Amino acid sequence: MKIYVPGDSAAISVGADDVAAAIASKVGDSTIIRNGSRGALWLEPMVEVGTDKGRVAYGPVNVEDIDSLIAADFMHGGTHKLYLGESEKIEWLASQDRVTFKRVGIIDPLSLADYEAYGGLVGLRRAISMSSEAIVEEVKESGVRGRGGAGFPAGIKWKTVADAVSDQKYICCNADEGDSGTFADRMLIEGDPYTLIEGMTIAAIAVGATEGIVYLRSEYPYAIKTLQRAIDIAHAFGWLGSSVLGSKYAFELKIRVGAGSYVCGEETAMLESIEGKRGVVRAKPPLPALEGLFGKPTVINNVLTLSTIPAVLADGAPAYKARGVGRSLGTQVFQLAGNIKRGGIVEKPFGISIEEIVNGYGGGTLSGAPLRAVQVGGPLGAYFGTDKFETSLDYESMLAAGGMLGHGGVVVFDDSVDLAQQARFAMAFCALESCGKCTPCRIGSTRGVETIDLIIQGVKVDENKKLLLDLCEVMTDGSLCAMGGLTPMPVKSAMINFPEDFTGEVSRR
Amino acid sequence: MKYSTWSQDAALAVLATLREEKGAVLMALQALQKEFGYVHKEDVALVANFFNNSRADVHGVLTFYHDLLTEPPGDNHISVCVAEACQAVGSRQLEKDLKTKFGKEVHDGYCFGNCALGPSAMVNGAIIGRASVDAIAKARI
């Protein structure tokens, strides 16, 4: 008899630890497994029980429900008002196409036996049997693009590092998932950490690196704990260390914890931070692929990019690129957040529309008030109204619509949102988090806040709007990285798509 | 949260564990804060000496990162997310109410990756979803 109570921090945030303790105190010996979350976060804490017909689910379960669940014989799949049926048949989950997230929520995150039983290590074992060139070629062929937000083809980056000659190369995983509305990196690490370790090991073999570093944000204490334990177990297993699974390859992996800086999610600022310095952005060139961490050739990829690699190697590039549209191949792990009825992880091939994600999966707003805006792609992404809901969520279509896909976060707002305030926040956040290197970002963001304040107060509105657009142009063109370069995106999109909020009148309504 | 009392020897003992690390300045400041609850004013010179950096460099790192504190913390550390996804579910009001009630204990946070169950807060390292003033009050020491 196995009972699954997610140990994912989102589930914990709504009481999963208490639920697990309450069940343990009532049913004694039965095994409680703290799995990751399957991603239907509105159903958390979602308790599952292994029965003869497979796992069945109940949710959302509160401590007060435990007595009635036991009375209903939930241990054998008994009927109860929280009964959700067989987990695999919950429509919201069953209709998804899980590739990167295929094991998350299903396995015990730290069980290597579970990991292998569900297809883990197949990709790495295949990689070990291949030449480095062939691995890089396979990744190139798959079309996997960087999931951190920039969308750069991973294979091309790897090729640059593989071709560089150096006594030392590094694999750096960017797990500084600072974008509000995104949590896929965190859930992957908490729910299936070995997938990330496998992806990084494959990258190391492909480019000839022997050291890896995961730069993981301090705001994710649960993920840090899980990943460190996974690294320790992988070491003891003979996966990490001087001979990867008995092969000629060596690979060591460490975590470096961030210290509360958003800009350190920018890859060169991240390198500075790993080197122990202020997280100040570097000019490119030189590319980090040639002169990266400690001046050595470095692969920098996001958690989701690296965690997708094992599936690419296991199933081959053709299977991976059979999904998606145009040049956006494979699946994207969308994260549905904010004022949303059914939020969580939706992994689907690129090309699903905003409408399908937000109203289909999300079911509209949590508050029940009319949906007014979405912000796609994090704090540097665009604000869209419902008129843009048919836009396909892929890199090219989002760009054409005046936005970006970013890390795949979709934040939903109801009609209480004031887009002038959201634009102001974008500038204020930039002022707070700017590393200070580029003047347009460092100073421009503060001037931006002041100018938006004047617009809100109704002072020379037309003139100040013109000034603000001019400022946005300077920031876009005159900043080295996306912090200053893309802060204008939420600001301008708010002005263009919601002009009624920038009239300087005290209230729209 | 319980922390050790700062002394130079105790601080040097923390640094000694990081001797082999490359680029250890930020790690060192984080380790000192973990041990003592904050970075003591004499730590800047200690870290600079230990890792052969300038005091200006260490000071620069100390002042760059939001996490690093230079004053002893109180008993409770409440971090409330004030970023977009939580704004969409009322974090602006929650932040105001918390600051009225708990004053300097309350810090602005920028995303705990709990964006589908906001507003979110972190109280002494424990995450709280669908956060309210009451739930946060209960989680305090």
Same domain, A152 and A178: yes
Confidence band of B64 (pLDDT split at 50, 70, 90): very high
User: CA dihedral in degrees (A333, A487, A418, B81; nearest 10)?
Assistant: 60
Residues A408 and A465 in one domain: no
In a domain, A456, yes or no: yes
Q: Contacts for B89-97 with beta carbons within 8 Å, 24 or more apart?
A: B89/A338, B89/A339, B89/A366, B89/A367, B89/B118, B89/B119, B90/B119, B91/B118, B91/B119, B91/B120, B94/B119, B94/B121, B94/B131, B94/B132, B94/B133, B97/B133
Query: What's the token pair of residue B9?
Result: 């020897």
Q: Which of A423, A415, A409 is nearest to A365 (CA)?
A: A415
Residue A319 to chain B, least CA–CA distance (Å): 31
Closest residue in chain B to residue A366, using alpha carbons only: B89
Asked if residue A50 lies in contact with residue A2, where contact means CB atoms within 8 angstroms, the answer is yes
Residue A101 placed within a domain? no
- B 79-118 near A (Cβ less than 8 A): 81, 83-89, 109-118
Answer whether B66 sits within 8 Å of A375, measured CB to CB: no
Cα separations in angstroms, A433 against A76, A231, A484, B32, B64: 52, 31, 10, 24, 10
Cβ <8 Å between A338 and B127: no
**Cα-based distances in Å from B32 to A222, A302, B47, B132:** 21, 29, 10, 32
**How far is residue A346's CA from residue A98's CA, in Å, rounded to a whole number?**
9
In a domain, A103, yes or no: no
Same domain, A402 and A472: no
Query: Are A59 and A84 within 8 A, CB to CB?
Result: yes
Q: Minimal Cα distance from A428: which residue of B?
A: B83
Q: Which residue of A has its CA nearest to B129?
A: A13
Q: Are A182 and A312 contained in the same domain?
A: yes
**Residue A200: inside a domain:** yes
pLDDT band at B1 (very low <50, low <70, confident <90, very high): low
Q: Determine the residue of chain A that is closest to B84 in CA distance.
A: A180
Domain containing residue A367: CATH number: 3.10.20.600
Q: What is the CATH number of the domain that holds A67?
A: 3.40.30.10
Supply φ then ψ for residue B101, to 5 degrees: -85, -40
Start-end of H helices in A316-393: 317-321, 354-355
Reduced DSSP (H G I as helix, E B as strand, rest coil) percent helix, strand, coil of chain A, to 5 = 45, 15, 35
- Residue A496: Cβ within 10 Å count: 13
**Residue ranges in chain A whose pLDDT is less than 50:** 508-509
Question: How many other β-carbons are positioned within 10 Å of the β-carbon of residue B21?
Answer: 15
CA-CA-CA-CA torsion sign (A484, A487, A489, A493):
negative
- Residue in A closest to B30 by C-alpha: A259
What's the pLDDT score for residue A509? 40
Residue with tokens 């750069």: A152
B128 CB burial (10 A radius; 0-12, 13-18, 19+):
buried
**Chain-chain contact of B61 with A278 (C-beta, under 8 angstroms):** yes
The CATH number given to whatever domain includes residue A450 is 1.20.1440.230
Residue A257's H or E segment, with its range, is strand A252-257
Between β-strands A252-257 and A211-216, what pairing exists: parallel, antiparallel or unpaired?
Answer: parallel
* Minimal CA separation from B115 to chain A, in Å: 5
Cβ atoms within 10 Å, residue A119: 15
Rounded CA-CA distance A307/B17 in Å is 32
* Pick from A278, A425, A433: CB nearest B60: A278
Domain membership flag for residue A106: no
Identify the domain boundary among A300, A321, A342.
A321
**DSSP character string of A311-329:** HHHHH-HHHHHTSEETTEE
Residues A226, A189 share a domain? yes
A139 and A268 assigned to the same domain = yes
Pairing outcome for strands A371-376 and A409-414: antiparallel
CB contact under 8 A, A219 and B122: yes
* Chain A hits for B89, Cβ within 8 Å: 338-339, 366-367
- pLDDT value, residue A226: 98
| B116 with A10: Cβ contact below 8 A | yes
> What distance in Å separates the CA atoms of residue A273 and residue A172, rounded to the nearest whole number?
12
pLDDT score recorded for residue A149: 86
The residue of chain B nearest to residue A182, with distances taken between CA atoms, is B113
* B114/B129 Cα distance (integer angstroms): 7
* d(CA B101, nearest CA chain A) in Å: 22
Residue A355: partners with Cβ closer than 8 Å, 6 or more residues away = A389, A390
Of A321, A349, A366, the domain-final residue: A321
Residues A287 and A331 in one domain: no
Q: Which of A277, A303, A321 is the last residue of a domain?
A: A321
Q: How many CB atoms lie within 10 A of CB B4?
A: 13
The domain total for chain A is 4
Residue A506 has what pLDDT? 64
Residues A283 and A316 in one domain: yes
In 3D space, the residue among B103, B105, B135, B141 whose CA is nearest the CA of residue B120 turns out to be: B135
Residues A28 and A128 in one domain: no
- Tell me how far apart the alpha carbons of residues A166 and A230 are, in angstroms, rounded to a whole number: 29
Q: Do residues A144 and A302 touch, judged by C-beta distance below 8 A?
A: no
Distance from CA of B113 to the nearest CA of A (A): 5
Among all residues of chain B, which has the CA nearest to that of A378? B84
| Domain assignment of residue A102, yes or no | no
Instruction: Indicate whether A338 and A424 sit together in one domain.
Output: no
How far does B97 lie from chain A, in Å, by closest CA?
Answer: 19
Q: Give the pLDDT score at A102.
A: 97
- Kindly provide the ipTM of the predicted complex, given to two decimals: 0.97
**B78-139, what's its fold?**
Glutaredoxin (3.40.30)
A100 within a domain of the structure (yes/no): no
C-alpha span between B86 and A13 (Å, rounded): 14
Asked if residue A331 and residue A316 are part of one domain, the reply reads no
Q: What are the boundaries of each domain within chain B?
A: 8-64, 78-139
Cβ separation B113–A218 shorter than 8 A: no
**In this complex, which of B61, B113, B118 lies closest to A276 when CB atoms are compared?**
B61
Domain around A67: 2-94
CATH code of residue A252: 3.40.50.11540
Residues in chain A: 509
Q: Are residues A266 and A122 in the same domain?
A: yes
Query: In whole angstroms, what is the distance from residue A164 CA to residue A145 CA?
Result: 21
Question: Could B113 and A414 be called an inter-chain contact, meaning their C-beta atoms sit closer than 8 Å?
Answer: no
- Interface contact B44, partner A, CB < 8 A: no
Distance (Å) from the alpha carbon of A344 to chain B's nearest alpha carbon:
6
> Across the interface, do A338 and B85 touch by the CB < 8 Å criterion?
yes
- Contact partners, residue A118, CB within 8 Å, separation at least 6: A102, A103, A106, A107
Backbone phi, psi, residue A254, to 5°? -135, 160
Q: Which two tokens stand for residue A303?
A: 């958690």
Q: Report the C-alpha gap between A99 and A32 in whole angstroms.
A: 26
| Chain B residue numbers touching A442 (CB-CB < 8 A) | none
The residue type found at A8 is D
Quote the pLDDT of residue A485: 97
